[in-house]
Amino acid sequence: MSQATSEAPVSTFAAPRFPIRRMLRHRSFVIGAAGLGLIVILAAAAPLITWHDPYAQDLMNRRIPPIWYAWFWDHPSAGWHHPLGTDNLGRDYWARLVYGARISLLIGFSATLVSGLIGTFLGVAAGYFGGRVDLVISFIITTRLAMPVILVALATVALLNSTLLVITMVLGLLLWDRFAVVMRSATMQARSQEYVTAAKAIGCSTPRIILTEILPNVAAAFTVIATIEMATAVLYEAALSFLGLGVQPPLPSWGLMLAEAKEDIFFSPWMITLPGIALFVLLLSINLLGDGIRDLSAPGGRS
């Protein structure tokens, strides 16, 4: 395994390692990319694919069930005007789901960006310099791991303010541990390669070596962790919102929609089913994409 890694043409992996054909043959990569792509398109084109305002209440038309209630059970109020029905305030469920995707994606992506920056900085520093730097950073990582994420996130968001920015920053500041751990070992591995020794020998400066030799070679590992962490951030945002301390009403977060639908669990079970499915599909897509990238970027490549 380690032999294969050291012999692979690491510095030029970007082009030959991701041939389109191999990517298209990889089933979980294709399914994951398609699922995530679909959700991104729906979120971006939200105003085009729904004619409803996700905030507009219609108290005369509350808790209308989705269209298939008209098909199978002849439900009188279900119809095409509200294809996925309405919530307990008469707001169109499809519109709220589509606009909710924006929040999940925005927080998931930005929080991963923040945690990726912190984790990569710490991990690369620990892995490249080793010694005392590594000792201190490893201690910081251990401390972070000892703190229960969901609890600290809940408390911090409650103490500060439940704005999107605060939620993103809190999640970003808490979820960098996996980046740091993986970047640290990837950097350690890259540091002992001959091209780094060569760069040192010809007198390259440390920042230059890190930027041009180390970072490109830990990029694949970064991408894999980024997918895992994006899924985690999306999940935590939904959990915080579900517990009432994340995204605040009337914003359409999927976790918040689940919390609001909880009251109607006995009579309108579809109301908890739909946001849950949306969340499940998004998380599944991101995870599948991550699995695909991991397989495709592995030296030998797996089927």
Partner 1 sequence: MLVFALKRFVVGILVMLAVSTITFTLTNVAADPARTIAGEGASAADVEAIREAYGFDRPIIVRYGEWLGGALRADLGDSYRQRRPVVDVVMERLPVTMSLGGLAFAIAILAAIPLGIIAGLRPNSWIDRASLTFALIGQAMPTFWFALLGIVVFSVTLKWLPVSGSSSLSHFVLPAVVLAYYATPTLMRLTRAGMIEVMQSDYIRTAKAKGLRTGKIVLKHALRNAILPLVSVAAVQFGFMLGGSVVVETIFAMRGVGYLAWESITYSDLPVVQAIVLTIAAIYVVLTLAADIMNAWLDPRLRSN
Give strand pairing partners of 86.
Answer: 92
Give residues 272-291 in contact with partner 1 (rule: CB under 8 A): 272-273, 275-276, 279-280, 283-284, 287-288
Give strand pairing partners of 124.
Answer: none
Nearer to partner 1, 79 or 276 (CB): 276
- 175 makes contact with partner 1 (CB under 8 A): no
Binder of partner 1 out of 159, 201, 202, 207 (CB under 8 A): 159
Binder of partner 1 out of 145, 165, 198, 211 (CB under 8 A): 145
The minimum distance between CB 143 and partner 1, in angstroms, equals 4
The one-letter amino acid at 183: M
- How many other CB atoms are there within 10 angstroms of residue 85's CB atom? 25
φ, ψ of residue 249 to 5 degrees: the values are: -60, 150
Binder of partner 1 out of 59, 151, 201, 202 (CB under 8 A): 151
Nearer to partner 1, 57 or 88 (CB): 88
# binding residues, partner 1 (CB under 8 A):
41
Quick one: which of 83, 99, 47 has its CA closest to 278?
99
Give strand pairing partners of 92.
Answer: 86
Q: Which tokens hold the place of 165?
A: 């920015």
The minimum distance between CB 199 and partner 1, in angstroms, equals 28
Quick one: which of 11, 69, 131 has its CA closest to 270?
69
Q: Which stretch binds partner 1 (CB under 8 A): 42-50, 71-79, 104-112, 135-143?
A: 135-143
**Cα gap 217→58, rounded to integer Å:** 55
Mask for 231-260, x = binds partner 1 (CB under 8 A): x---x--xx--xxxx---------x--x--
Nearer to partner 1, 124 or 234 (CB): 234
Q: Which tokens hold the place of 111?
A: 């929080």
Let me know if 218 is exposed, middle or buried by CB neighbors in 10 A (0-12, 13-18, 19+).
Answer: buried
Q: Is 213 helix (H, G, I), strand (E, B) or coil?
A: helix
Q: Which stretch binds partner 1 (CB under 8 A): 43-51, 56-64, 187-195, 262-270?
A: 262-270
Nearer to partner 1, 122 or 210 (CB): 122
Torsion from C-alpha of 159, 117, 106, 103, nearest 10 degrees: -30
Q: Which residues bind partner 1 (CB under 8 A)?
A: 139, 142-143, 145-152, 154-156, 158-160, 231, 235, 238-239, 242-245, 255, 258, 262, 265-266, 269, 272-273, 275-276, 279-280, 283-284, 287-288
